[in-house]
Chains A and B, each alone.
Chain A
Amino acid sequence: MTVDSTAARKATRSSGKRATAKKTPGGTAAKAKAGTKAPAAAPASAEQDPDQFVQLLTPEGERVEHPEYAIDLSADELRGLYRDMVLTRKFDAEATTLQRQGELGLWPSLLGQEAAQIGSGRALRDDDYVFPTYREHGVAWCRGVDPTNLLGMFRGVNHGGWDPNSNNFHLYTIVIGSQTLHATGYAMGVQKDGADSAVIAYFGDGASSQGDVAESFTFAAVYNAPVVFFCQNNQWAISEPTEKQTRVPLFQRARGYGFPGVRVDGNDVLAVLAVTKAALDRARTGQGPMLVEAYTYRMGAHTTSDDPTRYRGNDELLAWEAKDPILRLRRYLEAEGIADEAFFASVEKEDEALGKRVRDAVRTMPNPDDMAMFEHIYADGHALVDEERAQFAAYQASFAEEN
């Protein structure tokens, strides 16, 4: 499988030792802290109170420290994160365009959530396992899943076009919240095997209302399963704001189940990386589950079928635009002299090449064979499927005979 992101992924891993999170959080991050440098920009609201909000890079691109979560990345790694986010955004934009051109039936854009996905995706080890929703295009990128493979289900040629075990990246799950239980069960299996891998379950603010998510928290807590619950709170479940899902900040839910929860600036790739890595390390060392709430924003529509102008205003959009995850990292890279014009130009070039590759792949993606709908329904076969397959084949063949 040719994957653009593989090289960057390996580089990150080989030098990953330095991306250490200093300590394992014991409880929620809502601890008093002294002597910490305050973020350069004042939090937009109480919901971003620094005591309850891990941030390492401000929207202005200034590095700040946090008493519980630290990060120390090489220049290569920092540039890698930037490249990952830019290319993910490009791929996403390309898919949106392809939907508008009628090449895809639907596309759920991740625009605005690049830091949440790249930060958490780059925190993973190869042997960790990911259970995504249907919007984790950035995480898929980090796992080395060829981005063009994500498009088959949205073009209508399959329901999931990759082997989950090739990249330890499960298929997209469309039923909201279902995958959190699969992740928990997988983690219970890891535990039974005595392995030190961790599992990460992605879900959103809307999914937090689902019974399956509540049950997964219960099972994970009771069995001390090595799973990280990674909630991207992008503020909107189609048209319903987070206030329609919860009366408490989502990360606080964890406390009631008996494991820690932390809210991280979901538009800060460094903070997301540090917090997720700490949570994964906690899981793999037998300390059980943790909930990470990545506080972010869905800049686009829920999917290409949605019209967000019906339920939210432009002010909100502009406020979040100012917190753009890519822009703030670029500001930091430029201010610190970590990346030069040549680097940005090379990413842009890659960007164009990726766009072309995605367009070409989608436009030449063949329709499945008519008989494919009868395949893989059962692993060991089924008499009714055999009968109906034969009937359908005979019916199809009857036209050939007429011709």
Chain B
Amino acid sequence: MISLDPRGLVNRALLVGVSEYDFTEPPHGVPGDLPSVKRNLNRMREALAGGQVFGERDVKVLPSPSLAEFGQALQRSAREAEGLLLVYFAGHGAIPSGGDELFLQMRDAKVIAGRHTVFHGAEKFSDLLATMLATSPAQRIVVVLDCCFAGNAAPVWEHFDDKRRVLLLMSVQANHRIDAGDARTPTPFTAALAALLDEDRDTTLSDLADRLRGRMTALGLRTLRDDPWEPQLRTDLGVDVLLRSKATEDGGGNPVLPVPVPVPPPPGPGPVLRSFRALLSAPLAPLRGVCATLIGRFRTIVVPHPPRRAVVRVVLPAVLAAGLLGLGVYGLLRHAGYVGDAPACDPPLELRVLTDPDLEPTIRAAADAYLTSDENTTGDGCRRTGATVYSAGSSDVVGALRGQTGAWQEPPDEDVNPQRDIGPQPDIWIPASRAEVDRVEDGQDTDAVAGLEADEEPLAYSPVVLAVPQNIASEALEDRTGLSLGEMVGDLTARDENAAVRRPDPEFTDMGLLATVGLYGEDGRAVARGERLVAQPGSPSPTAAELLCTLPDDDAVDNSTAALVPEFLLRSGVGCDLTTRSPRLAQYPDDVPGVEPTFVRVMWRGGHRDAPARDASAERFRDWLAGERGGGQVFARYGFRSADDQKLLDEEHVAEGVLREPTPLDESAGRDAMARTLDAYQEAGGPGRVLFLLDSSGSMTRLWKGPSGGPGLLRQSLGGLGGQDEYGVWAVAGTGDDPAYGALLPLGPHTRAEAERAVDTGARVRDAEADPHAALLAALDEMRDRGDDRRPQLIVHLTDGEDNNRLTGDRLDDVLTAARTSGVPVTVVSLQSGGCDRDRPDRRIADASDGRCLDADDDLGAALHDEVARTGTGEG
């Protein structure tokens, strides 16, 4: 029985790091949290998983478990392992005043001092060994302890008869305490251990221990008694095990760069004393009597070797405090040493939370409340987690999660960049319907680098309603429930022939897509009819909230237009600039699926550096969001219903126009219905036609290069166009006898590559002024001539507005008249700040044609892409 090569066997590693403790206050608490231990887990996981002995799935990480959780996980790993079982512990270690035992303190650790000190929430090392030996068939069991007094495990091991297959690596010799080091890096012992495990060579445990001792000596690390810090190994003679293997020639291993071992900085005296005073304040007094015997013991240890003046002042009293309880000093040093030059709290782990644009205000309010909640606050008053909530167009998000996760992780070039165009890589995604998750998973690339884990149950519920202006609404219950959307709209137009219906953009918000499911009727057949019902001049409002804010711009429209919006907006959808809105009554169609915000964890390949902590943070936030007292209160305030019974969460304050218990409501949206509806919507108008006018006059020189320049913006927007769409690009420069424009790309169907090539090779700034008047009139003519096929059309004019002196007086009137009568929206992208201010020519042309005016104050790339995508058939 000598060295074992466990490769190919069933191996398990259980990495336990207790960085956060529930009880850190005297008299029963442990000395404090251990932020650096949090870093140990990630570091060890990487080091072990890179060595060919353990696969990624063989390594189980357990951040800050309770004793009960630890026990369960230990048994599971022990049972499963057949070759090598490795158990690693980092956290507080404590010893009783007499006897050879070591207690590994878990998250729920408490110390009840007395004649026989009781250690609650701590694993006795002898129990740990007994459990493993009893339950595990593993050929080798390696235990690694990184805690104060780790060496006190050795005598326990000695007393076990069947210890032969157990190998014990301890961070420090018996009865010694050690510094946990800088909170920003792993503890010194684990940092050294992991660095050696990273080295691309065959490494056995005994070899590792040898090199570890050498490395720590070389670094000059010392224990708190100022002795040389010497890791300890205990094995039966000749027993050894391979922990990592050299990568093979074909790259089977993961070469990892050596990581420098951080040396803990010397403590500064000022803050140390302050922290220490806080620590030693009154609560310790009652213990003095019962622990008196310990004081003498530690005094003899500490005093003879004062390491440095600053440390004497720190360590002596700190050790006395620790000695009173027989505890390790990891926590104390966090207050007394490292934190001397940093605030008490670590910057928290950041969660990136992506949601639907119409859910953003609610989720943001929830996140704000969570950040300052007790659940997100440690015993030290620190925030556990930070969170940033943002949103992006729903079909862009689905498209990116399906087919662009690689580009999201590593944008390949300036044209395809979801980091810029959608936003941060989410850790959490909260779409408005579970069906969106299914749509992603159904069509996701096989080489996707993001995986989704969706909750089965939604967080809340809100039906999509037909919000009808009160003056044309029916208050009769039978008109407001139990009918299909088609029937309701039919009744509405029968009551008022001028009544209209609008819905938000189905590609931008799930609210619009859910409404469209109802519009297209059973089996999604009534596409054309559904689209006729919601036909409107110009583009649909991007979100439901904006739709409700846009309608009051024109009282006549507001009073005669019903809106398909989620019910919750009737309560929370305020905040528009115009506060006078037509009051509305909600009607509850029985064939429109409702909004069901669903919590989805997104995991990125390679993004596992802090996986346990990130998982735990996400889970805590999820639990809070789903809880009645946490997220439940926010969803109630924002007008949502319970996902369980569809009852209003706040039954006291029911918004005007809302029914308490409307029935029946449609069931959840299905993946197929959503996908089919979106496809049908995109094809409803058939492929589109887009003509780009690219100002190429001399003044564009400084607005030409890079993704924010004219050609760059144009290229980015090509993603909104599909192979069926027709589009072309005109370069606009030239006045007088010089032609006002020239075609870079003729109007017609193109592949994206072909179009990009044409822009790349053809687009040039010319040393000439531009004549936007002539170019726009020609473009409007061209589109009018081609418009008989009823395709959706769009003209995009990218310009710096430098030559708008040719767009004044009669010339401007010409263009405005043509724009108004052509039926072709003109979207102007003004590359100067304020280019879309009221009364500017660009703004007036956009308004006259029902197009949009975008200027440098907007997020131009994303906004133009959305505009073009509304006309084209590309997805994302």
Partners in one complex: no
> Which residues of B are at the interface with A, using a C-beta cutoff of 8 A?
none
